[in-house]
């Protein structure tokens, strides 16, 4: 496990704390463009209409896998979207794609902590604006305490306003690896968002910034996330139950063709 320490920078009433997590080393070079084929068949069986069940994205798997490489102190495989054109991501059967899918399931379904967090996404999606704002303020303190210890965290971001399962697809997961407090007391978190792949050209990439905004009472969306190419809004967030796992050699040394 990594033994990084936070690096505070205080001047003129401002404070910046960064862990040793580096997007250049640990953020993937391809976007969260996965499609998960859950089930295919006929309803009713044999004679019914053919149905395919699928979901979009593996943000939790990418966030968990990114931190797995961080704790291993090994850069993620340097594979980019161009390596997998036109799909943009490694196909199922590729060691990295399969590992990310496994970690996606771990993040919200197939581990004790994942099941707990899966339930939290549903519960939080049904909260009122006031309730989710109050709960997120408590989570902010958890994030800051972890970052002060030098440990990045995975955040579960809430956008859904319904507890229906279909609504949960708009919720999200990101890696948070630093924070800033400006002279006026404004707080922002520095994140790697799997929807925004790392770009090797400094002019094209900037870290994601998740910032509290003031109009939560009006819109119910109290946080703004600024990425390289767009801005998003969230109702709130919580710290997930991430625990490190070591990828095997096929994942660590994954190539374009998945050979090892």
DSSP result, 34-69: -EEEEEEEEESTTTSEEEEEEEE--HHHHHHHHHHH
Is 211 in contact with 188 (CB distance < 8 Å)? yes
In this predicted model, which residue has the larger pLDDT, 101 or 214? 101
Whether 242 has a pLDDT exceeding 80, the answer reads yes
In this predicted model, which residue has the larger pLDDT, 255 or 80? 80
Q: Residue 27 contacts by C-beta under 8 Å, 6 or more apart in sequence?
A: 66, 76, 175, 192, 197, 198
Range with the poorest average pLDDT among 186-195, 203-212, 247-256? 203-212
Whether 56 has a pLDDT exceeding 60, the answer reads yes
What pLDDT is attached to residue 256? 78
What pLDDT is attached to residue 44? 53
Whether 232 has a pLDDT exceeding 70, the answer reads yes
Maximum CA extent, the chain: 72
Q: How many residues does the chain have?
A: 260
Is 19 in contact with 178 (CB distance < 8 Å)? yes
- The pair of structure tokens assigned to 166 is 């279909």
Segment 22-35 shows an average pLDDT of 95
Which of 190, 84, 90 lies closest to 144 in space, CA to CA? Answer: 190
Q: pLDDT-derived band of residue 3, with 50, 70 and 90 as boundaries?
A: very low
In this predicted model, which residue has the larger pLDDT, 129 or 48? 129
Whether 4 has a pLDDT exceeding 50, the answer reads no
In this predicted model, which residue has the larger pLDDT, 182 or 236? 236
Whether 98 has a pLDDT exceeding 70, the answer reads yes
Rg (CA), the chain: 19
In this predicted model, which residue has the larger pLDDT, 51 or 32? 32
Is 171 in contact with 164 (CB distance < 8 Å)? no
Task: Output DSSP code: residue 199.
Answer: -
Question: Distances from the Cα of 14 to the Cαs of 9, 17, 28, 166, 182, in angstroms?
Answer: 8, 10, 30, 42, 5
In this predicted model, which residue has the larger pLDDT, 110 or 44? 110
β-bridge partners, 17: 8, 179
What pLDDT is attached to residue 184? 86
Q: What global pTM score does this model have?
A: 0.89
Whether 95 has a pLDDT exceeding 50, the answer reads yes
Whether 2 has a pLDDT exceeding 50, the answer reads no
pLDDT tens-digit map of 122-178 = 999 999 999 999 999 999 999 999 999 999 999 999 999 999 988 999 999 999 999
Percentage of the chain lying above the pLDDT 70 cut: 83
What pLDDT is attached to residue 203? 66
Which of 158, 159, 153 lies closest to 175 in space, CA to CA? Answer: 153
What pLDDT is attached to residue 48? 60
pLDDT tens-digit map of 100-118 = 999 999 999 999 999 999 9
Count of alpha carbons within 13 angstroms of residue 150, beta-carbon side? 10
Question: What three-state secondary structure class fits 191?
Answer: strand
Q: pLDDT-derived band of residue 39, with 50, 70 and 90 as boundaries?
A: very low
Whether 217 has a pLDDT exceeding 80, the answer reads no
Q: How far apart are CA 85 and CA 82, in angstroms?
A: 5
């Amino acid at each position: 496990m990594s033994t990084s320490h936070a690096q505070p920078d205080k001047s003129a009433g401002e404070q910046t704390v960064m862990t040793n997590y580096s997007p250049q080393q640990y953020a993937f070079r391809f976007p969260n463009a996965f499609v998960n084929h859950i089930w295919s068949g006929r309803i009713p069986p044999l004679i019914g209409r053919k149905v395919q069940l699928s979901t979009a994205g593996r943000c939790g798997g990418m966030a968990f896998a990114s931190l797995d490489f961080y704790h291993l102190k090994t850069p993620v495989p340097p594979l980019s979207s161009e390596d997998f054109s036109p799909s943009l991501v490694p196909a199922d059967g590729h060691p990295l794609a399969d590992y990310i899918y496994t970690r996606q399931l771990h993040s919200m379904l197939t581990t004790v902590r994942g099941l707990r967090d899966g339930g939290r996404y549903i519960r939080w999606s049904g909260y009122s604006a006031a309730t989710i704002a109050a709960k997120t303020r408590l989570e902010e303190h958890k994030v800051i305490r972890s970052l002060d210890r030098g440990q990045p965290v995975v955040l579960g971001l809430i956008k859904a306003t319904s507890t229906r399962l279909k609504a949960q697809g708009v919720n999200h997961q990101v890696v948070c690896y630093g924070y800033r407090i400006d002279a006026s007391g404004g707080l922002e978190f520095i994140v790697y968002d799997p929807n925004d792949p790392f770009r090797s050209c400094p002019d094209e990439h900037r870290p994601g910034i998740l910032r509290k905004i003031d109009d939560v009472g009006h819109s119910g969306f109290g946080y703004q996330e600024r990425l390289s190419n767009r801005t998003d809004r969230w109702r709130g967030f919580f710290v997930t139950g991430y625990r490190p796992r070591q990828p095997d050699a096929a994942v660590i040394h994954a190539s374009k063709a998945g050979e090892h």
